Amino acid sequence: MDVVLYTRVGCHLCDDAHALLKKHGLAVETRDIDQNPILQKKYDHCVPVVTINGKERFRGRVNEVLLARILRSE
């Protein structure tokens, strides 16, 4: 499963999202949006953003119940 977490330094919601994804046994690739002007423009006020298998699934808080459903269906 391809899981990408778009994040930035100092984002507590991003830290929470990363911990939750790891709790569910996912290998998470993180991308700091502030290192890429295109990502920064796209996600500036939305982090954390989580994509699973290329599909954007969460912006802001990650809902654990919905995450579990998504993982079962993937």
Q: Average pLDDT in the 18-42 region?
A: 97
In the chain, pLDDT over 70 holds for what percent of residues? 100
Q: How confident is the model at residue 44 (pLDDT cuts 50, 70, 90)?
A: very high
Give which of 48, 71, 65 is closest to 2, Cα–Cα: 71
* Helix (H/G/I), strand (E/B), else coil: 22: helix
Which domain covers residue 49, as residue numbers? 3-73
Query: What CATH number should be reported for the domain holding residue 15?
Result: 3.40.30.10
Q: What is the pTM of this model?
A: 0.93
pLDDT value of position 74: 81
Q: How far is CA 12 from the centre of its chain?
A: 12
Q: Average pLDDT in the 40-44 region?
A: 96
> To the nearest whole number, what is the mean pLDDT of the chain?
96
* Helix (H/G/I), strand (E/B), else coil: 7: strand
How would you list the strands of the sheet with 55-59, edge to edge? 28-32, 3-7, 49-52, 55-59
Please state the domain count of the chain: 1
